[in-house]
Amino acid sequence: MKKIGFIGLGIMGKPMSKNLIKAGYQLIVGNHNQETAKELEALGAEIGLTPKEISEKSDVVITMLPNSPHVKEVVFGAEGLIEGAHEGLIYVDMSSIAPAASQEIYKVLEEKGVDMLDAPVSGGEPKAIDGTISVMVGGKQDVFEQVKEVLQAMAESVVHVGAIGAGNVTKLANQVIVALNIAAVSEAFVLAQKAGVNPESVYQAIRGGLAGSTVLDAKAPMMLERNFKPGFRMDLHIKDLTNVLETSHELGAPTPLTSVALEMMYALKADGHGLEDHSSLLKYYEKLANVEVTR
């Protein structure tokens, strides 16, 4: 049984690491979030003081961090993961970062003999808790096969999508589709409310047709209940869409709808909604129409 290092015990990382423990894996976790680290220690995990120590003691190291700079700091910073690199170590970055950053980190680690996969996830906190997230993996096929069972302990769907960086390209595509779906649902509900038609009735009428989607079923009830407790924070979606635009500009692949959605999210952040669930994109449209969506 592989020993797994896990760094990044936030909204997603905490339940993901718990699912690894439930699956019988021996974990050594980072101590940046000390309260959560102690909680996992009580479940049987070991606490590592530095990324270096964690990588020295692990067969596989997983990171689940906010963005590219945080990943680079853990890998290359003082007492970083790279300092504890050893033969046979596999590094799996499950953070959602820029594909170019994944490729940059991979090249340096490859020189040290460390295999790397970029394996961002989709599904938000509820699916992280129940172990049904989707994982999109970039990297060498043979390396993927070595850790596939580890990933399946946290996920319902684990798909190898290509070479290093392909995982994060896939995640960016996912985030474009999710953001634009949420914007469309918000726009439609505000239109219905303004017209005097119950948005919940609209939801029930359309969810079984072509307009139905996983996004609609996940976010419409939250909007109708005005429950904007974050399963996925607006700030994090802003980060992802910023990475989309950066990548699209580098590739020459224009993303005009994404740029509009990003500006709407930035407007909400300026209004103090950055820490809310991304379903609060509804509030942008409500403000424009001077109406509040209700059941």
State the CB neighbour count (10 A cutoff) for residue 210: 6
| Each residue's pLDDT tens digit, 7-32 | 999 989 999 999 999 999 999 999 88
Give residue 8's identity as a one-letter amino acid code.
Answer: G
Q: Which domains does the chain have, with CATH numbers?
A: 3-163 (3.40.50.720), 169-289 (1.10.1040.10)
Task: State how far the Cα of 192 lies from the Cα of 125, in Å rounded to an integer.
Answer: 29
Q: Are strands 60-63 and 46-47 parallel, antiparallel or unpaired?
A: unpaired
pLDDT attached to residue 169: 97
Among 98, 142, 97, 135, CA closest to 116: 142
pTM over 0.85: yes
Cβ within 8 Å of residue 137, ≥6 positions away:
117, 118, 119, 144, 151, 158, 159, 160, 161, 167
Residue with tokens 């692990």: 58
Average pLDDT over residues 270-280: 97
| Each residue's pLDDT tens digit, 106-129 | 999 999 999 999 999 998 888 999
Residue with tokens 């997603």: 12
Q: Say yes or no to pLDDT of 1 above 80.
A: no
Read off the tokens for 127: 């699916």
Q: Which amino acids are annotated catalytic?
A: 171
| Each residue's pLDDT tens digit, 181-200 | 999 999 999 999 999 999 99
Q: pLDDT band at residue 33, thresholds of 50, 70 and 90? A: confident
Dihedral sign of CA atoms 259, 235, 11, 4 in order = positive
